[in-house]
Amino acid sequence: MSTIRLTAAQATIRFLTRQFVERDGRTQRLFAGCFGIFGHGNLAGLVQALQQDAGLRYYQCRNEQAMVHTAAAYAKMKNRLQTLVCISSIGPGATNMITGAAAATINRLPVLLIPGDLFARRNVAPALQQLECERSQDVSVNDCFKPVSRYWDRLNRPDQLLTALPEAMRVLTAPAETGAVTLAFPQDVQTEAYDFPGTFFRDRVWSVPRTRPDTATLAHAAELLRNSRRPLIVAGGGTIYSEATAALQALCERTGIPVAETMAGKGSLRFDHQQSLGALGVTGTAAANRIARTADVVVGLGTRYSDFTTASKTAFQHPDVRFININVAAFDAHKHSALAVVGDARATVEELMPMLADFRIDPAYAVEIDGLRAAWSREVQRLYDVRNTPLPSQGEIIGAVNQLSDPDGVVIGAAGSMPGDLHKLWRTTHPKNFHLEYGYSTMGYEIAGGLGVKLAAPEREVTVLVGDGSYLMLAQEIVTSVQERLKLIIVLVDNAGFKSIGALSRSLGQEGFGTRYVFPTDDRLPGDNGPERQPLPVDLATNARSLGAQVFEAGSYEDFVKAYREAQDCPTTAVVHVRCDRYASVPNYEAWWDVPVAEVSEMDAVRKARAEWEQMRAQERLF
């Protein structure tokens, strides 16, 4: 058998360029490129290999956490069939990626992380940036990746690549297992040579099968639905990743069953489809939450049922509610004591449809759904048309972007109050129109995620909606978007602080403590929500200009509309900076989120909030 002498790093890069993925007869490269920041932990190894092998496009970036967010957003846009590689040096460069790894794993998105690691031969320890452990010489900061990775390995010898790399590919391409994959790569091992078998570098196609459900279990599910009076489908991210949206639409049109959507599942149906109830749960619509409360059979289609979706397990109040969970992952399918239908979402819906050929929801239920949908449409338009003074509300800004942006484009958000308001108010026009990272609610995801979306779909208009709190955590990838000529429209909503947590704090009787960007009033207390507080002299518009963006500023709704249109016409990344009223919020629509309140307090407002919490806590159910 012929061999090829390569360093371990060179072999890794060559192997990655020869990995392909196939689903439904379409084959494409698994890795579309590589992000990385260089240091002594990867410079002589992986970086030299990238320099030598042009098969993996390198992208420069500014922050290790951001590059993982970009890779995850890319994978999400590609329905988990393609992703990017992220490499770092050792120490802080590596641990900067941990937040991104956690977000990718929680959101079931494939990313490959290769952090540099300390010397495998150990004799030069402690190396620069090495964490010393008195209990073991086989521990480094990269061990911190273990709980947030779906697969983790440390490559202490070049020949270990022969087994580690295929195993990493298996996990990355498995819909039920995918997430962050971490290969800790000691810096000395990266540079060591080995005679690798030539067959190791042959093109490898990893098939992503459409797992078929058990026939008897699916028949049982169909029987439950045929006997139901108020069925509801909850569409999650798996609906979109498996490209099941057309099958779902056909099923709904045939049966009349309504659909509510999770954050990841929003866009499973168009907003104006007759069976679309919109968002469900804590950030849900009045229509979806009212139907959920009395649903007797709930079909979870590709959802993991987070507490926001279930309103902390208070959303479904029918005394005899039954759950049918269709999911490629058995772990999620069995949640809520459900009838677990383990299978690909599209394949399962297609097989379920003939079993419901004679089923149609009751006409009275259909009339109720139509009435709730119409009422919700009026409520959204009301919030779009509010003209709050002296500063616009966040709902108005969302409405303007929704009405002015390209219907084929993508809107991106993440942490804070923006995702909840978008989930309720955004009128989706296609399955990729709405891109939210809310599994981990990661502040700083937005701009890096927008970059990943634009990389995946350069033909689409990409609008990033980000609050000032999240912007200040991770805005540097504006530079990358300018460098790569990947235009983003960034709507920077300036709330003078943490709007979301301020509202939550006030709801718990805590007066928005420490959530405004103001000077403290004394040495003990940070500024609170009092109007007399002196604001900080922070100029975010100037900051965005300094990073290379074209900036347009707005102080009113009319100014914003003009500025957004100018940003659309701009040839490069544009930031629209708009100041908003931090106290003007989109209402909650008959849903609750369990945030425990102090049981003992000297504050009257906290004691009142505790009493309300205890009343709602009693409505939580175990399924």
For the chain, the structural domain boundaries read 3-207, 215-375, 386-496+535-579
| Consecutive H or E run containing 7 | strand 3-7
In degrees and rounded to multiples of 5, residue 440 shows phi and psi of: -115, -5
- In degrees, rounded to 5, the angle at the alpha carbon of residue 483 between the alpha carbons of residues 478 and 488 is 45
Q: How far apart are CA 238 and CA 224, in angstroms?
A: 22
Asked if pLDDT for residue 526 goes beyond 60, the answer is no
pLDDT category at 535 given cuts 50, 70, 90 is confident
pLDDT category at 519 given cuts 50, 70, 90 is confident
- For residue 126, whether the previous peptide bond is cis, meaning omega lies within 30 degrees of 0, is yes
Give pLDDT tens digits for 340-368.
Answer: 999 999 999 999 999 999 999 999 999 99
What pLDDT does 534 receive? 79
Tokens found for residue 465: 């909606």
What pLDDT does 520 receive? 78
Give pLDDT tens digits for 373-384.
Answer: 999 999 999 999
Q: What is the 3 state secondary structure string of 431-496?
A: CCCEEECCCCCCCCHHHHHHHHHHHHCCCCCEEEEEEHHHHHHCCCHHHHHHHCCCCCEEEEEECC
Asked if pLDDT for residue 528 goes beyond 80, the answer is no
Residues shown for the chain: 623
pTM value > 0.85: yes
Q: How far apart are CA 602 and CA 57, in angstroms?
A: 60
Q: How far apart are CA 452 and CA 592, in angstroms?
A: 33
Q: How far apart are CA 496 and CA 489, in angstroms?
A: 21
pLDDT category at 529 given cuts 50, 70, 90 is low
Tokens found for residue 78: 């590609």
Average pLDDT over residues 210-225: 97
What pLDDT does 532 receive? 65
Tokens found for residue 386: 């509010």
The one-letter amino acid code at 40 reads H
% pLDDT > 70, the chain: 98
pLDDT category at 246 given cuts 50, 70, 90 is very high
156, 186 in Cβ contact below 8 A? yes
Select the more confidently predicted residue: 73 or 415: 73
Average pLDDT over residues 458-467: 98
Class of the domain covering 3-207: alpha beta
Q: How far apart are CA 113 and CA 100, in angstroms?
A: 10
Tokens found for residue 23: 């689903």
pLDDT category at 524 given cuts 50, 70, 90 is low
Same fold, 215-375 and 386-496+535-579: yes
Q: How far apart are CA 248 and CA 598, in angstroms?
A: 44
Average pLDDT over residues 61-74: 97
Residue reference for tokens 């060179």: 10
Asked if pLDDT for residue 304 goes beyond 90, the answer is yes
Query: Out of 179-183, 330-334, 517-521, which region has the weakest mean confidence (pLDDT)?
Result: 517-521
Closest alpha carbon to 451 in 468, 427, 432, 475: 475
pLDDT category at 254 given cuts 50, 70, 90 is very high
Q: Residue 450 contacts by C-beta under 8 Å, 6 or more apart in sequence? A: 73, 412, 462, 463, 464, 481, 488, 490
Mean pLDDT of all residues belonging to the chain? 95
Closest alpha carbon to 194 in 443, 466, 10: 10
Q: How far apart are CA 469 and CA 460, in angstroms?
A: 27
Class of the domain covering 386-496+535-579: alpha beta
Give pLDDT tens digits for 148-193.
Answer: 999 999 999 999 999 999 999 999 999 999 999 999 999 999 999 9
| Yes or no: domain 215-375 corresponds to CATH 3.40.50.300 | no
